Structure 1
Amino acid sequence: MNQMKRVLSYLLLALLAFSSCRKDNNDSVFSGTTDERINKVLGDYQAALAGAQYGWNARLETAAGSVYNFHFSFNDANRVLMYGDIDTLTASERKESSYRLKALQQPALLFDTYSYIHILADPDGGVNGGEYGEGLHSDFEFSLDSLAADSIKLTGRFKGSKMVLKRASQQDLQMWQNGQWKNVLLFEDLGSRILNYFKRLNYGGTQYEIQVNGVERTVTFTWKDAGGAAHQHTTGYIVNGTGIQLTTPLVDGANTISSFSNFSWNTGTSSFTMNVNGTTPSAIVGAIAPVVVDLEGPRRWWNFMAQQDGYWATVNGFHVNGVDDAFGLRGIPDFMFLVFWPRFGTDAGVTYDLAGWVHNLGGTPTIMFGAAFEPPQFSTNGRVVFPYYGTLGEVPPEAEDPYVNTAVQFIDPLGYYLVQTSASTYDMVSVRDAKAWITWEY
């Protein structure tokens, strides 16, 4: 037993000696203090960022899965010039702002003054079309994950979006400067030229209705086959300097659509011309009716709220002839939103619906006045008409024109199609010419 204790004691002493040696060796492995090592890492990133003669191509994937592209040119004075493919303005006007490299939990790149990259992360949905309070689930502060000779990988510090920088060539920069990126983004700007809600692409002998969602970067195709059966295909897309690449190509028998390129506006035919799959000329034109009418859409939209004594809401009112909030609702003092409330009340035996104007009354959303309608008239061809019943409440002078114009638009005798765009949103589109519509959500 004593011999075993002595052996164990020798082993313990040996381990302590070995441990001491390892500690001494570790002390000699690293040169400089912790701050010096961190500053060296930051200096390496700084040298890389500012040392790229033609800047950096950036591919940003938001936490929601949408992909955006930027071009950054950094200098040693903490300034950065950028383009972004958010819209035609950000793709054509180079913006200067500031940035910082900072040691946080790990080295980080911070865009510290408002710039194009902040637009995606802005919590105001009115800025980017995203969710209020969330924006487009993106970042403007990034952890620096890795540095290679020609690339840098980053992760958003709050939303976890992913960004990869790749060293740009002179040609890459020129594609932004000469308007190629701006031209590609005409695809997301169809509504500025084609005023009809419905837009059609004729390809391979088939009429495809096309809806582009530039916020989520998705495109939806709707069509009928030779037998009259309806089909729909929704896919994401990625913008590049030469065109639009569909994440999942549309396959319709002999027709396959995987990309669009070479966009231009033809004034004579009021159409967007382009090449499909790189080589086949085609065009997108306006239409006054959907390819496939949702025959139950109006009734489904109305019943959804009628059954729960709820309402649909919109902050912009009607879009007319290419103009959002065409009747100026948002310019009315204290206006918050417009609601459509089925079976809002009963008067003289008539149960009426209400387009109610909600204002901020002492901090409380309150219906101040509204246009009342008799029960809606649903047709078998997928339309709804709103017969006018009267005005509820007193309309203040500053709201009179917006109120009257909105009410007159509502009671168009030709009525409306209801297009369901998500589980919680519908577009109510004028049958007359499809140049007026309103988006309802809950």
Structure 2
Amino acid sequence: MRSRLAYCLLLILSSFAACRKDDKSVFDLSPDERINQALSQYQAALTAAPNGWEARITTGTGSIFNFHFKFNDANRVVTYADIDTTSSGTPRESSYRLKALQQPALIFDTYTYLHMLADPDGTVNGGDDGTGLQSDFEFAIDTVTADSIKLTGRYNKTKVTLYKATPAQEAAWQNGGWRKALNFQYLGRILQYFKRLSWGTNAYDITFNNQQHTITFAWVDNSGNPHRVTVRFYYTSQGLVMVTPFTDGAVTITSLNSGSWNAGSNTLQVQVNGVTQGSIAGAVRPARVDLQAPRRWWQFAAQQDSYWASNNGFHVNGVDDAFHIRSIDNFAFLILWPAYGRQSGIIYDLLGYIIVKPDALSLDFGSAYIPPTFTTDGRIIFREFGTLGDVPAAATAAFENTNTQMIEARGYYLVQTGATTYDMVSAKDALAWISWEY
């Protein structure tokens, strides 16, 4: 019996020994060699698209951008993007590399258009300082097929799919097709507050935000109720497409195709839904005036015995803080306080300058106005009453220019932009306005 057990044990040990000898031949390549082989295959896939790759990126903030990439074997990539008229028509070359991290990764390692979306400087992309538009420039490689490559951002988890471009798609970037689609950016040259989209008998005031890729439609319905709807859009080589169509009763807008820009009249020709000819141009008054907005704005703060505030003062002729109130020493913000006080039997409004003091905020000086006039056509008109406090010599120009603008004879339209926010727009020419928040 012992002899048979010993024989069986010998067979088992021999089997294990045989397995150990065979383990050395399970893989033909070392781990490093296998990784390098995989990276080489990914690079071959990237460079195997003769017309480059198309990509559509949705950032963490919800904005949608199109890109065109063309990779070569020297770890260089040429990029176009529909961020602005420069990036959509001027190729930018940078470097890229493939690296084995937790999984193989594609890294755009020098600054290019892709980095603009992730730039933490909010002035670059319209996002918040510190986070930008919450996008990526380092991507884990998920899957590779003959016609597509799927990527996931390593930090913000941005999902990107590269699709092999056709000759026509590449040509649309190279021959200015995409750049023409971004003619909407010229709307920034319209200096009037009101930018009017018109076609047929329809008209809407719009606010266009190219950095965030949003359009806000503003209108007043037949009952006098104001409406504002903001929709996201993405570009195509023809123009822009609404992520969610804009609707107002029987009116639906799914797309706006970009036409020619007339620099003389500052007018952009468009096609609504790819069919109907229309235009976007500046206007000096709302498409339909919210007749009750001035009184609603004034009474809201008066009833609270409180004020409206503005951080930057008046925007005039395309210039923010046109009168440089932010240059006043220790300036904090501007206030409009309805029915602030009484003098000589007159209740007056106050446009006050809030100054930062070592231990508190202080209302040091301001302009007083007699009770405003509310016109039947939806305007508010201010008339000067006097000056409160002593205006510092260094603040005199900012103070006087702001006061002169406030008492402009034709007054202002009030546009409600939120539950407790309004824009006050010059009825003279719509070239000056100030934003108020409560």
Q: Same fold by TM-score, threshold 0.5 exceeded? A: yes
CA deviation digits over 1:349-386, x for unaligned, max 9? 97763453768x99x99779764344763626544445
Name structure 2 gaps, 5 residues minimum.
1-7
Quick one: which of 248, 255, 266 aligns to 2:244? 248
The TM-score normalised by the length of structure 1 is 0.78
Q: Give the 3-state SS of the residue equivalent to 1:220 in structure 2.
A: strand
Give the corresponding residue for 1:414: 410
Deviation of the 1:264 alpha carbon: 1.1
Paired with 1:365 and 1:49, the residues of 2 have a C-alpha distance of: 60
Deviation of the 1:255 alpha carbon: 4.2
Give the corresponding residue for 2:337: 342
Q: Is the 8 A contact 1:59 1:164 kept in 2?
A: yes
Paired with 1:19 and 1:303, the residues of 2 have a C-alpha distance of: 91
Quick one: which of 98, 119, 122 aligns to 1:122? 119
Paired with 2:402 and 2:298, the residues of 1 have a C-alpha distance of: 19
Q: Is the 8 A contact 1:345 1:352 kept in 2?
A: yes
Give the corresponding residue for 1:44: 41
Give the corresponding residue for 2:3: none
Please say which structure displays the higher CA radius of gyration: 2
Name structure 1 gaps, 5 residues minimum.
1-9
Q: Is the 8 A contact 1:184 1:262 kept in 2?
A: yes
Quick one: which of 82, 89, 92 aligns to 2:89? 92
Give the corresponding residue for 1:6: none
Residue type matched to 1:155 in 2?
A: T
Deviation of the 1:300 alpha carbon: 5.6
Residue type matched to 1:353 in 2?
A: L
Deviation of the 1:345 alpha carbon: 7.8
Structure 1 vs Structure 2 CA RMSD: 4.1
Give the corresponding residue for 1:314: 311
Q: Is the 8 A contact 2:81 2:88 kept in 1?
A: yes
Paired with 1:177 and 1:368, the residues of 2 have a C-alpha distance of: 57
Number of residue pairs aligned between Structure 1 and Structure 2: 424
CA deviation digits over 1:186-208, x for unaligned, max 9? 2243131x322112233342223
Q: Is the 8 A contact 1:57 1:72 kept in 2?
A: yes
Paired with 1:18 and 1:347, the residues of 2 have a C-alpha distance of: 105
**Are 1:59 and 2:56 matched, yes or no?**
yes
More displaced, 340-349 or 423-432? 340-349
**Are 1:197 and 2:193 matched, yes or no?**
yes
Paired with 1:45 and 1:82, the residues of 2 have a C-alpha distance of: 19
Residue type matched to 1:342 in 2?
A: W
Aligned pairs (5 A) from 1:269-284: 270-284=266-280
Q: Give the 3-state SS of the residue equivalent to 2:241 in structure 1.
A: strand
Q: Give the 3-state SS of the residue equivalent to 2:271 in structure 1.
A: strand
Q: Percent identity?
A: 46
Give the corresponding residue for 1:4: none
Residue type matched to 2:68 in 1?
A: H
Q: Is the 8 A contact 1:376 1:384 kept in 2?
A: no
Quick one: which of 118, 140, 144 aligns to 1:143? 140
CA deviation digits over 1:310-339, x for unaligned, max 9? 763435x43322344444567x49877643
Give the corresponding residue for 1:289: 285
Quick one: which of 370, 377, 380 aligns to 2:372? 377
Paired with 1:18 and 1:441, the residues of 2 have a C-alpha distance of: 82
Q: Give the 3-state SS of the residue equivalent to 1:173 in structure 2.
A: helix
Q: Give the 3-state SS of the residue equivalent to 1:52 in structure 2.
A: coil
Q: Give the 3-state SS of the residue equivalent to 1:164 in structure 2.
A: strand
Residue type matched to 1:58 in 2?
A: A
Deviation of the 1:269 alpha carbon: 5.3
CA deviation digits over 1:232-264, x for unaligned, max 9? 544221111111112233445654422221411
Residue type matched to 2:195 in 1?
A: K
Q: Is the 8 A contact 1:371 1:407 kept in 2?
A: no
Q: Give the 3-state SS of the residue equivalent to 1:342 in structure 2.
A: strand
Aligned pairs (5 A) from 1:18-33: 29-33=26-30
Give the corresponding residue for 1:219: 215
Q: Is the 8 A contact 2:184 2:258 kept in 1?
A: no
**Are 1:430 and 2:426 matched, yes or no?**
yes
Give the corresponding residue for 2:31: 34
Q: Is the 8 A contact 2:366 2:387 kept in 1?
A: yes
Paired with 2:222 and 2:420, the residues of 1 have a C-alpha distance of: 32
Give the corresponding residue for 1:111: 108
CA deviation digits over 1:134-163, x for unaligned, max 9? 322222332222222222222222223222
Q: Is the 8 A contact 1:314 1:441 kept in 2?
A: no
Give the corresponding residue for 1:80: 77
Give the corresponding residue for 1:180: 177
Residue type matched to 1:409 in 2?
A: Q
Paired with 1:333 and 1:53, the residues of 2 have a C-alpha distance of: 58
- Report the CA distance shift for 1:352/1:223 in structure 2 as closer, same or farther (over 3 A): closer
Paired with 1:224 and 1:300, the residues of 2 have a C-alpha distance of: 15
- Report the CA distance shift for 1:297/1:35 in structure 2 as closer, same or farther (over 3 A): farther
Paired with 2:261 and 2:425, the residues of 1 have a C-alpha distance of: 24
Residue type matched to 1:124 in 2?
A: D
- Report the CA distance shift for 1:419/1:132 in structure 2 as closer, same or farther (over 3 A): farther
Give the corresponding residue for 2:153: 156
CA deviation digits over 1:35-79, x for unaligned, max 9? 333333332332233343332222110112110112223333433
Paired with 1:203 and 1:324, the residues of 2 have a C-alpha distance of: 31
